[in-house]
Amino acid sequence: METRIDRKSFRRMSRRELLKLTPLLALGAFAWTPTRSALLSAGDHFNGWAASLWYRTGHPVTTFPDSAVAPLSRFPYNYFDVLDPEIDLDAWRLKVGGLVKNPGEYTLAQIQALPKVRQNTRHVCVEGWDVIGNFGGARIGDFLKLVGADPAARFLYVECADNYYESLDMACAMQPNSLLCYEMYGQPLLVGHGAPLRLLLPTKIGYKSAKYLISLEVTNVLRRRGYWEDQGYPWYYSL
């Protein structure tokens, strides 16, 4: 006996069966090597775009009382390549370029002459630990005004003495708790914590807070996104 299915019923069944197959199709796409990296990259870009929609540049992060701050001895050293890249602190300069009116090399004293911010904020590591520390430095936004950064520029890109590199969206750079950090616990940075200058970004995951800064570029085009990000880690990663 022949069973007949009308065209409308067939379309309904087809849509239903396709929806059932969707998870399997997605799994197959991830399993197929040529598509996996493209899908992961697209997902990272979408997540960053979505998170940026509710990121509030002028909104301060949570700060903590001194009683909540962990002792400096309990603040882990976390390094990418070497704990001490052997920077000559007396000769150190921050090279600044890109979309700025005043490119050149800036001394630590020039950065320290900007209004100083002291804050107790939480540092969150992608490895699963977090700690509240005391930090001091200049707002990145104040430094960008000093060097005459293009207010329409999209990104900040930094390179480090240990060959690490990182980039930020400009909204993060201009957030009031984002610092060019040169001090912890009222003292100059220890070598293991990034002396003489590091990024301090309490709105971002820890690997964005690059240490041992030696150059800073204001740009609209990123040649590289970040050391870990270029290996597949999320670029935006707002907390």
For residue 150 the two structure tokens come to 């293009």
Q: Taking the model in full, what pTM does it have?
A: 0.78
- Residue 46 is predicted with a pLDDT of 42
CA-based nearest residue to 234, from 19, 99, 51: 51
- Residue 34 is predicted with a pLDDT of 56
Q: Is the pLDDT of residue 113 over 60?
A: yes
Domain ranges in the chain with CATH number 3.90.420.10 = 58-231
Residue 54 CA, chain-centre distance (Å), reads 16
- Coil, helix or strand for 82? coil
For residue 225 the two structure tokens come to 């996104």
Q: Which CATH architecture group holds 58-231?
A: Alpha-Beta Complex (3.90)
CA-based nearest residue to 121, from 79, 69, 48: 69
- Residue 29 is predicted with a pLDDT of 47
Average pLDDT value for the chain: 85
Question: What is the rounded distance in angstroms from the CA atom of residue 48 to the CA atom of residue 62?
Answer: 22
Give the pLDDT confidence of 60-93 residue by residue, as tens digits.
899 999 999 999 999 999 888 899 999 999 999 9
Q: Is the pLDDT of residue 151 over 80?
A: yes
- Residue 28 is predicted with a pLDDT of 54
Question: What is the rounded distance in angstroms from the CA atom of residue 25 to the CA atom of residue 117?
Answer: 52
Give the pLDDT confidence of 26-48 residue by residue, as tens digits.
445 445 555 444 444 444 444 44
- Residue 47 is predicted with a pLDDT of 45
**How many other CB atoms are there within 10 angstroms of residue 147's CB atom?**
20
- Residue 40 is predicted with a pLDDT of 42
Q: Is the pLDDT of residue 234 over 90?
A: yes
Q: Is the pLDDT of residue 101 over 60?
A: yes
- Residue 30 is predicted with a pLDDT of 44
